[in-house]
């Protein structure tokens, strides 16, 4: 549910402002209102950004190994990281230059530049060339000593020497004043320096906890100074004014802040136009839905909290899309393993774990009622067939499941419209509910029984009349009628949204066919290769079902959430809310 909050304004003496804001932060229960163009404590923000970047880098260096909690100065760690980073960048740049020099020099092999200099000092001209083979073949080289060092299908590298200056009419290559051996030695030295830098990074990574603690303290200081900078002033800067939103009553908040302040304060309910922060609070059975809701948009304060409905609707859709008891057992086993392996007490992890259990049981349930166990066909006398409710193996069963998926969509959308009618007394929403179900019974009579259903038709007309007559609140009858007729065109969107739920049937059917296909592929080598056929069969089963489960998870998440966020939200949900962010300290007390 959305927690009710009060707008509380504090007025105090300027000399007490810093102490009061610090105390308010220690209470940690309010959301402080700041202006849209809030001033930022740039120096603290810069330090926080630097520490965060260094902490992330050293955490990657440390890997999964538990870093010992060594005391250290975070500024010294950041300075050392910056120094090592600059050295690392310089060495990598120098190695890049050396590699380019090696690429240039490599066609002529390993020689000492001093020998070339000696030849030239004795009056011998030595020049290096690298030419296309077609160009090389056109040269007249009888007057020179020419030595080809490398040649390929398209290129020739050679050295030309003569006792006097000469010109071949082509561009001479300028080679580095180093030998290949010297370049390789320099690269090796610089790589050794890089290894030393990596060792120093590992040493720094042992102190990463100091950065974690410093990051928390700096974030607290950043939030504190941000509130301090943006608090309003009055009476020539003698008073400060601070407005916050509190989920607890005014007197309880003042009691938490404590005595020792000269304060005036008053509370008021949210007014029209206020940007009210939204704090969600749900029972454990529903709180996993909060994270799903926030994937798309936080509800606004005047909206409703859809967490519980989204959670269980998503679970049902997800289970129907995968719909295999074998996959459900695998998902449940993985969830139990993660529950046992990950000892985190983070609220986010606990909510995610509950969601995984919910989804796993949903897949298991739909797998049981569709008699699908890794796509294996059950015998007619198998007792598990007594639980079969959704038969995807026959044409009649598939038609039935398709109809069930549409009815699920109709029920889901009716819940949305019912919520809208309950909250806003919107008569067109009630009209659409009537249209949905009367239209269903009307079509069922026409298509299944071939008989008209006048009662359903009259009820549908009554529903459309509600839409036409009450879509607009204008007192002008012509304008009201025109707006109503325009609103009645929503029947097209409503029909499209109902039919969109057929994806549940289609994706569930695809998952089942993929299961059966991989089983059939595995059966071929198992039956065709004596003694060793089970090896490729097992590989096909593991790989195939693994891919199918992964695709099912992707489809279940994407389409399960899509039916909530697009088809369902369209009829009842506004969103675009401001998340309640408690003004509190996150650093652990020393």
For 323-334, write each residue's pLDDT tens digit: 999 999 999 999
For residue 271, the number of C-alpha atoms closer than 13 Å in the C-beta half-sphere is: 4
480 within a domain of the structure (yes/no): no
- Report how far residue 173's alpha carbon sits from residue 105's, in angstroms, rounded to the nearest whole number: 10
Number of neighbouring beta carbons within 10 Å of residue 461? 12
Question: Of the candidates 278, 311, 334, which is a domain's last residue?
Answer: 278
494 within a domain of the structure (yes/no): no
Question: Do 53 and 95 share a domain, yes or no?
Answer: no
Question: Of the candidates 231, 247, 278, which is a domain's last residue?
Answer: 278
SS3 labels along 168-198? CCCCCCCCCCCCHHHHHHHHHHHHHHHHHHH
Q: What is the pLDDT of residue 166?
A: 85
Which of 560, 3, 1, 562 has the alpha carbon at shortest distance from 306? 1
Contact call for residues 5 and 30 (beta carbons, < 8 A): no
Question: Do 149 and 39 share a domain, yes or no?
Answer: no
Q: What is the pLDDT of residue 378?
A: 82
434 within a domain of the structure (yes/no): no
32 within a domain of the structure (yes/no): yes
- Report how far residue 493's alpha carbon sits from residue 20's, in angstroms, rounded to the nearest whole number: 54
- Which residue range(s) make up the domain with 300? 288-425+501-572
Each residue of 237-269: pLDDT tens digit? 889 999 999 999 999 999 999 888 888 999 999
Question: Do 193 and 225 share a domain, yes or no?
Answer: no
User: CA torsion angle for 462, 464, 470, 475 (degrees, to 10)?
Assistant: -90
Each residue of 133-154: pLDDT tens digit? 888 888 888 788 888 999 888 8
Question: Do 353 and 412 share a domain, yes or no?
Answer: yes
pTM of the prediction?
A: 0.81
Band of pLDDT at residue 477, cut at 50, 70 and 90: confident
Band of pLDDT at residue 587, cut at 50, 70 and 90: confident
Q: What is the pLDDT of residue 217?
A: 93
- Report how far residue 316's alpha carbon sits from residue 366's, in angstroms, rounded to the nearest whole number: 9
Question: Do 301 and 239 share a domain, yes or no?
Answer: no
39 within a domain of the structure (yes/no): yes
Each residue of 342-401: pLDDT tens digit? 888 888 999 999 999 999 999 999 999 999 999 887 877 888 888 889 888 889 999 999
The DSSP 8-state label assigned to residue 129 in this structure reads E
Question: Do 393 and 542 share a domain, yes or no?
Answer: yes
548 within a domain of the structure (yes/no): yes
Does 412 score more than 80 pLDDT? Answer: yes
Each residue of 536-562: pLDDT tens digit? 999 999 999 999 999 999 999 999 999
Q: What is the mean pLDDT of residues 223-236?
A: 91
Each residue of 17-54: pLDDT tens digit? 999 999 999 999 999 999 888 889 999 999 999 999 99
479 within a domain of the structure (yes/no): no
Residue 416 burial by Cβ neighbours in a 10 Å radius (0-12, 13-18, 19+): buried
Question: Do 138 and 233 share a domain, yes or no?
Answer: no
- Report how far residue 482's alpha carbon sits from residue 524's, in angstroms, rounded to the nearest whole number: 66
Q: What is the mean pLDDT of residues 283-303?
A: 91
Q: What is the pLDDT of residue 588?
A: 81
Q: What is the mean pLDDT of residues 47-68?
A: 83
Question: Do 225 and 332 share a domain, yes or no?
Answer: no
Question: Of the candidates 170, 205, 240, which is a domain's last residue?
Answer: 205
Question: Do 92 and 200 share a domain, yes or no?
Answer: yes
Name the token pair of 138: 């056109």
Band of pLDDT at residue 71, cut at 50, 70 and 90: low
Name the token pair of 123: 């009056």
Q: What is the pLDDT of residue 67?
A: 55
Q: What is the pLDDT of residue 69?
A: 62
Question: Do 41 and 81 share a domain, yes or no?
Answer: no
Name the token pair of 347: 């609220």
Question: Do 550 and 528 share a domain, yes or no?
Answer: yes
Q: What is the pLDDT of residue 200?
A: 92
- Report how far residue 573's alpha carbon sits from residue 312's, in angstroms, rounded to the nearest whole number: 17
Q: What is the pLDDT of residue 142?
A: 79
Q: What is the pLDDT of residue 526?
A: 85
Q: What is the mean pLDDT of residues 55-62?
A: 89
Is 239 in a helix, a strand, or coil?
Answer: strand
Q: What is the pLDDT of residue 73?
A: 84
Overall number of domains in the chain: 4
Beta strands in 17-120 (DSSP E): 31-32
559 within a domain of the structure (yes/no): yes
Q: What is the mean pLDDT of residues 106-130?
A: 89
Which helix (DSSP H) or strand (DSSP E) does residue 201 occupy? Answer: helix 180-205
Question: Do 173 and 190 share a domain, yes or no?
Answer: no
Each residue of 439-472: pLDDT tens digit? 999 988 888 777 888 899 999 999 999 999 998 8
Number of neighbouring beta carbons within 10 Å of residue 26? 14
Q: What is the pLDDT of residue 381?
A: 82
């Amino acid at each position: 549910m959305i927690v009710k909050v009060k707008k509380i304004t504090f007025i105090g003496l300027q000399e007490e402002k810093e102490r009061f804001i610090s105390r308010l932060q220690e209470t940690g229960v309010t959301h402080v209102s700041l202006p849209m163009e809030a001033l930022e404590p740039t120096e603290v923000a810069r330090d926080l950004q630097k520490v965060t970047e260094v902490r992330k880098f050293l955490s990657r260096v440390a890997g999964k190994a538990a870093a010992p909690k060594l005391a250290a100065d975070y500024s010294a760690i950041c300075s050392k990281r910056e120094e090592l980073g600059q050295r690392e960048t310089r060495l990598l740049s120098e190695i890049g230059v050396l590699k380019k020099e090696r690429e240039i020099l490599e066609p002529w092999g390993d020689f000492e530049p001093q020998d070339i200099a000696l030849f030239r000092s004795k009056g011998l001209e030595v020049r290096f060339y690298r030419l296309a083979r077609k160009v090389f073949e056109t040269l007249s080289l009888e007057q020179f000593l020419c030595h080809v060092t490398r040649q390929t299908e398209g290129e020739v590298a050679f050295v030309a020497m003569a006792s006097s200056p000469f010109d071949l009419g082509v561009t001479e290559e300028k080679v580095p004043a180093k030998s290949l051996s010297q370049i390789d030695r320099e690269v090796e030295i610089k790589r050794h320096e890089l290894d030393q830098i990596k060792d120093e990074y590992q040493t720094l990574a042992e102190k990463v906890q100091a950065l974690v603690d410093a990051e928390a303290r700096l974030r607290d200081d950043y939030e504190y100074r941000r509130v301090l900078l943006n608090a309003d002033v009055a009476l020539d800067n003698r008073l400060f004014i601070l407005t916050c939103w509190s989920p607890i009553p005014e007197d309880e908040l003042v009691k938490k802040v404590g005595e020792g302040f000269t304060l005036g304060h008053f509370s008021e309910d949210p007014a029209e136009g206020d940007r009210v922060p939204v704090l969600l609070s749900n029972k454990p059975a529903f709180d996993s839905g909060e994270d799903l809701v926030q994937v798309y948009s936080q509800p606004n304060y005047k909206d409703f909290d859809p967490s519980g409905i989204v959670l269980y609707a998503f679970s049902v859709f997800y289970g129907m899309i995968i719909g295999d008891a074998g996959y459900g057992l695998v998902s449940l086993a993985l969830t139990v393993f993660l529950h046992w392996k990950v000892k985190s007490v983070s609220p986010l992890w606990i909510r995610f774990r509950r969601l995984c259990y919910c989804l796993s049981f949903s897949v298991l349930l739909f797998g049981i009622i569709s008699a699908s166990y890794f796509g294996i066909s059950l015998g007619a006398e198998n007792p598990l067939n007594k639980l079969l409710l959704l038969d995807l193996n026959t044409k009649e069963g598939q038609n039935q499941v398709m109809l069930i998926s549409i009815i699920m969509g109709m029920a889901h959308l009716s819940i949305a419209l019912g919520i809208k009618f309950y909250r806003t007394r919107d008569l067109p929403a009630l009209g659409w509910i009537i249209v949905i179900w009367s239209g269903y019974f009307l079509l069922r009579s026409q298509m299944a029984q071939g008989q008209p259903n006048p009662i359903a038709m009259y009820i549908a007309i009554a529903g459309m009349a509600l839409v036409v007559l009450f879509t607009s609140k204008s007192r002008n009858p012509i304008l009201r009628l025109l707006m109503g007729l325009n609103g009645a065109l929503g029947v097209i969107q409503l029909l499209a949204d109902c039919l969109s739920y057929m994806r549940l049937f289609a994706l569930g059917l695809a998952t089942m066919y993929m299961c059966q296909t991989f089983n059939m592929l595995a059966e071929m080598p198992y039956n065709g290769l004596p003694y060793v056929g089970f090896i490729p069969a097992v590989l096909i089963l593991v790989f195939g079902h693994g891919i199918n489960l992964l695709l099912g998870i992707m489809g279940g998440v994407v389409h399960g959430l899509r039916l909530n966020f697009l088809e369902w939200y369209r009829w009842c949900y506004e969103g675009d809310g401001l998340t309640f962010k408690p003004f509190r300290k996150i650093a652990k007390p020393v």
